Amino acid sequence: QKEVEQDPGPLSVPEGAIVSLNCTYSNSAFQYFMWYRQYSRKGPELLMYTYSSGNKEDGRFTAQVDKSSKYISLFIRDSQPSDSATYLCAMIRGTGGANNLFFGTGTRLTVIP
Amino acid sequence: DTEVTQTPKHLVMGMTNKKSLKCEQHMGHRAMYWYKQKAKKPPELMFVYSYEKLSINESVPSRFSPECPNSSLLNLHLHALQPEDSALYLCASSQDSISGGASDTQYFGPGTRLTVL
């Protein structure tokens, strides 16, 4: 079993829809959670970063963490065609160490105008 | 400023060529990383430099040779590559890689798209 599981998609939604992207993890040592957005043929861009269980909002994006269920989500409200990208969840253990970032497999999202 | 720059953007090379990829960051980060990413896959860690010393080599073939001339620069020297080495090569940096938590958050460059003929 992989340490981080992510719905691979692809996911296709109409413009204006609410998008929900999800990851689960098995290792309770993960304490910090990120969402990266990666456009085709570009590097991953850090979108959201959270630590605590609960919600963190930034504009149209909300990151949600449920440590008791080992489940994280990214919600995109009023989705736009420019949101079409691959979204990667990533997690960091709290204990440090150079090999410390674990990625999900990525979900490819297409927002149709 | 959270920018990591990489050059070149694209590189095409033959199997007998020697080339280098370059990465630079001016965020004062002390950890720098090389990743390889194939299409529709997440990035795979290749090397980690922590405080300018190689701390992780993920069993990468010797035809890839990393170098960290100073805390802001990271190079990846390429020699005798194979067509299966064609991929997007990503550089990333973080504040450090030993404290854990927020300081391990990695910022990625745009990548170099490498094609080996």
Residues of B with CB under 8 A from a CB of A: 2, 4, 6, 31, 40-43, 45, 48, 50, 55-56, 58, 88, 90, 97-102, 104-111, 113
A97/B98 CB distance under 8 A: yes
pLDDT of residue B2: 65
Structure tokens at B77: 């020297």
**A100, A33 in Cβ contact below 8 A?**
no
A46/B88 CB distance under 8 A: no
Task: Assign A7 to helix, strand or coil.
Answer: coil
Distances in Å between the Cα of A78 and the Cα atoms of A57, A110, B86 are 14, 13, 37
**Rounded CA separation B83/B15 (Å):** 8
pLDDT over 90 (residue A72):
yes
pLDDT over 70 (residue A26):
yes
Give the residue on A whose Cα is nearest the Cα of B50: A98
Q: Which residues of chain B register pLDDT less than 50?
A: none
Residue B106 CA to its chain's centroid (Å)? 12
pLDDT of residue A17: 97
pLDDT of residue A95: 62
Among partner residues B6, B50, B109, which is closest to A98 by beta-carbon distance?
A: B50
pLDDT of residue B44: 92
The conformation of residue A98, written as its DSSP 8-state character, comes to: S
For residue B29, which phi and psi values (nearest 5 degrees)?
A: -70, 145
Residues of A with CB under 8 A from a CB of B: 31-32, 34, 36, 41-46, 49, 51, 88, 92-101, 103-106, 108
B100/A92 CB distance under 8 A: yes
Among partner residues B55, B105, B111, which is closest to A46 by beta-carbon distance?
A: B105
Distance of residue A76 Cα from the nearest chain B Cα, in angstroms: 21
Distance of residue A66 Cα from the nearest chain B Cα, in angstroms: 17
What secondary structure, in 3-state letters, does chain B show? CCCEEEECCEEEECCCCEEEEEEEECCCCCEEEEEEECCCCCCEEEEEEECCEEEEECCCCCCEEEEEEECCEEEEEEECCCHHHCEEEEEEEECCCCCCHHHHCCEECCCEEEEEC
**B69, B82 in Cβ contact below 8 A?**
no
Count other C-beta atoms under 10 Å from residue A102's C-beta.
18
**Rounded CA separation A34/B43 (Å):** 14
pLDDT of residue B98: 63
Task: Assign A79 to helix, strand or coil.
Answer: coil
pLDDT of residue B97: 60
Tell me the pLDDT band of A101, cut-offs 50, 70 and 90.
confident
B102/A51 CB distance under 8 A: yes
B107/A95 CB distance under 8 A: no
pLDDT of residue A36: 96
Tell me the pLDDT band of A92, cut-offs 50, 70 and 90.
confident
pLDDT over 60 (residue A98):
no
A30-45 pLDDT tens trace: 888 999 999 998 999 9
Size of interface A-B (CB pairs under 8 A): 78
- Which of A49 and A88 is assigned the larger pLDDT? A88
